[in-house]
Amino acid sequence: MLKFGKLYVCEEYCLMLYPDVSTAAEVASAASRRRGSSDWGYTRSRIMPHSSPASAAAYWTKQLEKPVSYCEKSAIFLVLSAQGVYAEVLAGDKKGWVIVKDWLELKEVVSNV
């Protein structure tokens, strides 16, 4: 579970940023039906046959008729709020909802100051 106001990083995956929690839930449900499992991911080989996170974001933007973006792997993001497995984050100049899975291995960024 991610904590409000904390900084995190996902070093292995690009995270898709959905415009609202209901859109993130819709994508999770669609991916679950397509794969026959609720454990799906963000890698090219697992999310869909897209060659890049940008093409995955473009695909979902077109499918949902809502803006979907992404943050690069190893991008640091701030948790703004959380609802179950969904968290609203700010990553640089991008804000959106991510789907939180244990296997993402999100790490809290700890300041030494």
Consecutive 10-residue runs of the chain (113 residues): their mean pLDDT? Answer: 93 94 90 54 45 86 94 95 95 95 91 70
How many alpha carbons lie under 13 Å from residue 17 in its C-beta half-sphere? Answer: 21
Among all chains, which residue has been given the structure tokens 């996170």? 53
* Three-state DSSP class for residue 43: coil
pLDDT for res 41: 44
CB atoms within 10 A of CB 26: 16
pTM reported for the whole predicted model: 0.82
pLDDT for res 94: 96
Closest CA to 97 of 51, 66, 63, 74: 66
pLDDT for res 24: 94
